[in-house]
A and B are shown apart, each in its own frame.
Chain A
Amino acid sequence: EVRLVESGGGLVKPGGSLRLSCAASGFTFSDYGINWVRQAPGKGLEWVSFIGSSSRYIYYADSVRGRFTISRDNPKNSLFLQMSSLRAEDTAMYFCTRGAYWGPGTLVTVSS
């Protein structure tokens, strides 16, 4: 069974940093590109970042480019999102997704 489980969310002050993780299981992690998608409270879905299977291809939304860094550790079946210079508008549930498969999400709240 394909499973994705996010962790690392929490309350952080504006300007602060946070590192999200996504643990994958049930498939050959190194064969797939993975996305981060976020959802602000009561809002729709917003794509954040993508990393290809070998990390060769990486893309970011304009809203996070220069502040967020996506990475992965294939031997450990893990995906990461390093977030810095956080803003109130980054407050959202963050999901890792392999297309058809989504984790339950981890909540990031940016507030003083």
Chain B
Amino acid sequence: EIVMTQTPVSLSVTPGQPASISCKSSQSLLHSDGKTYLYWFLQNPGQSPQLLIYEVSNRFSGVPDRFSGSGSGTDFTLKISRVEAEDVGVYYCMQSLQPPLTFGGGTKVEIK
């Protein structure tokens, strides 16, 4: 199975400051169809995960443009340009290139 490794485990950010989360996969997530099957989710406290970014860099409907995703192959990054209070929670990367779906261990973001 593809192993997803996220860093850091936790992040404390001042409102208005940027934040960055790294995700590395144990093998390339590039499919023969040209797409890279890497996703980012945010799980707010007590809620189910919500999709932020799909296929590395595409913001899902309704996601603020302060969220951006980048990367290729095995190395990926989620950036928040200016963290807001509503961004607290746990961020997960996920691959769907091949079963089983696998998730990173999560990055807990809190506000200073």
Contact residues of A with B, CB < 8 Å?
35, 37, 44-47, 50, 59, 61, 95, 97, 99-105
Tell whether, in the assembled complex, residue B50 and residue A102 are in contact, meaning their CB atoms are under 8 Å apart: yes
Q: Which one of B48, B54, B96, B103 lies within 8 Å of A44 (CB-CB)?
A: B103
- C-alpha spacing A97/B47, complex, angstroms: 14
Residues of B within 8 A of A35 (CB): 101
Tell whether, in the assembled complex, residue A102 and residue B99 are in contact, meaning their CB atoms are under 8 Å apart: no
Residues of A within 8 A of B54 (CB): 99-100
Q: What is the chain A residue whose CB lies nearest that of B102?
A: A47
Residues of B within 8 A of A95 (CB): 48-49
Minimum CB–CB distance for A96 against chain B, Å? 10
Residues of B within 8 A of A103 (CB): 48
For the complex of A and B, list the 7 residue pairs with the smallest distance between their C-beta atoms, beginning with the closest.
Answer: A47-B101, A102-B48, A100-B51, A45-B103, A59-B99, A44-B106, A47-B100
Identify which of residues 57-112 in chain B touch chain A, using a CB-to-CB cut-off of 8 Å. 60, 90, 92, 94, 96, 99-106
Residues of B within 8 A of A102 (CB): 48-50
Tell whether, in the assembled complex, residue B51 and residue A45 are in contact, meaning their CB atoms are under 8 Å apart: no
Residues of A within 8 A of B96 (CB): 99
- C-alpha spacing A99/B60, complex, angstroms: 11
User: Interface residues of B toward A: which range?
Assistant: 20 to 34
Tell whether, in the assembled complex, residue A45 and residue B100 are in contact, meaning their CB atoms are under 8 Å apart: no
Report how many A-B pairs have Cβ atoms within 8 Å: 42
Provide a sorted-by-A list of 28 A–B residue pairs whose CB atoms are within 8 angstroms: A37-B101, A44-B90, A44-B92, A44-B103, A45-B43, A45-B49, A45-B92, A45-B94, A45-B103, A45-B106, A46-B103, A47-B101, A47-B102, A47-B103, A50-B101, A59-B99, A59-B100, A61-B100, A95-B48, A95-B49, A97-B49, A99-B51, A100-B51, A100-B54, A100-B60, A101-B51, A103-B48, A105-B48
Asked whether A50 and B99 contact (CB < 8 A) given A45-B92, A100-B60, the answer is yes
Residues of B within 8 A of A105 (CB): 48
Residues of B within 8 A of A97 (CB): 49
